[in-house]
Amino acid sequence: MTLTEKIRDKARQLGFEQVGFSPAGPLARAAFFTRWLGLGFAGQMDYLARTLDKRTAPNRLMPGARTAICLGMNYFQESSPYPDPLGGRIACYARGDDYHDLIQHRLLTLWNWLQEITGGQAHGQGYTDTAPILERELAQQAGLGWQGKNTCLINQRQGSFFFLGEILLDLDLDLDQPVPERCGTCTRCLEACPTAALAAPHLLDARRCISYLTIELKGPIPRSLRPGMGNWIFGCDLCQQACPWNHRAVPSSEPAFQTRSGLEAPSLLHLLAMDQRAFTEQFRRSPVRRAKRRGLLRNVAVALGNSGSDRAVPALIKALGEEEPLVRGHAAWALGRLGGKQARAALNIQMGREQDTYVQSELRHALELL
């Protein structure tokens, strides 16, 4: 058995269903990525441009790297219908424990094993979504899948619900062949996006993407995009759910990725009432903590505004007294969208006492909606 075969076998033992090997040199899509940044489609993700040279060539990130071991781990979980308008939606990947910790630990285990069987002759480093690497491009070169029209990496057997990790090392291993695109004429992912974030096949305008809006964007969500967010409060799976290749996705057996209690369709009213201590406790070791309390409650307010339910009005009125202007502002918008005498009275009262100029603008807009 070759070293490449041994690595592949060990990685699968550690729970990586997909294993491939790619050269660690400059990436073919570097020019596309540079153009994408130039179009401004990265929004506020300025860090992408700051590390451009390393992202486009893994051997610049780790000088001397010759091969990238690319790994994929399934996280798919079934989603139930959402009949309650006051239930929120969290992306499948974020309903369990934080994947960074688990995958980084598995990568370290694989690396330590590799050191043992090579007598400490190999040098390398493992990464999972924490370093400037164009992971999907690298994984495509390694044969793990192709980049679909929704920009997700799609595997012919497993779909696209899987995490990526990689180990760069200074050894020459047997390389895999890239996988050709198999999307054909299908455009279901483009049609499924309610905010038109997919500007064209393979071209994502992150500024319109629900995942970006609920996680990466730190300030106010553009008003024109709020209605399209529905009840998504952290991330979004719509383009993946629409993809025919995901119809064969099998739920992950990894305990860490199982949906936590209360996160299948979390109560929006409960979430809006959370103080910092409750937020920290509920989302300990969860990807959702990345949004921070103010960001999550902002998202929750938008979802309540989209709920069409009068039951949301009292909670949103209470949120007008929230200390975070970002939350007050989005609660005001939600009240304007839901309407009613109670909402109008509360908005007028808040308008008379509000000192923050941003919130004042949201209050004025909300009153115009009534």
Residue among 204, 340, 232 at smallest CA distance from 296 = 232
Active site residue 129: yes
**72 CA to centre of own chain:** 16
Per-residue H/E/C for the chain: CCHHHHHHHHHHHCCCCEEEEEECCCCCCHHHHHHHHHCCCCCCCCHHHHCHHHHCCHHHHCCCCCEEEEEEEECCCCCCCCCCCCECEECHHHCCCCHHHHHHHHHHHHHHHHHHHCCCCCCEEEECCCCCCCHHHHHHHCCCCEECCCCCEEECCCECCEEEEEEEECCCCCCCCCCCCCCCCCCHHHHHCCCCCEEECCEECHHHCHHHHHHHCCCCCCHHHCHHHCCEEECCCHHHHHCHHHHHCCCCCCHHHCCCCCCCCCEHHHHHCCCHHHHHHHCCCCHHHHHHHHHHHHHHHHHHHCCCCHHHHHHHHHHCCCCCHHHHHHHHHHHHHHCCHHHHHHHHHHHHHCCCHHHHHHHHHHHHHC
- CA–CA separation, 243 vs 241, rounded Å? 6
Exactly one of 46, 84, 129, 310 is catalytic; which is it?
129
- Residues taking part in catalysis: 129
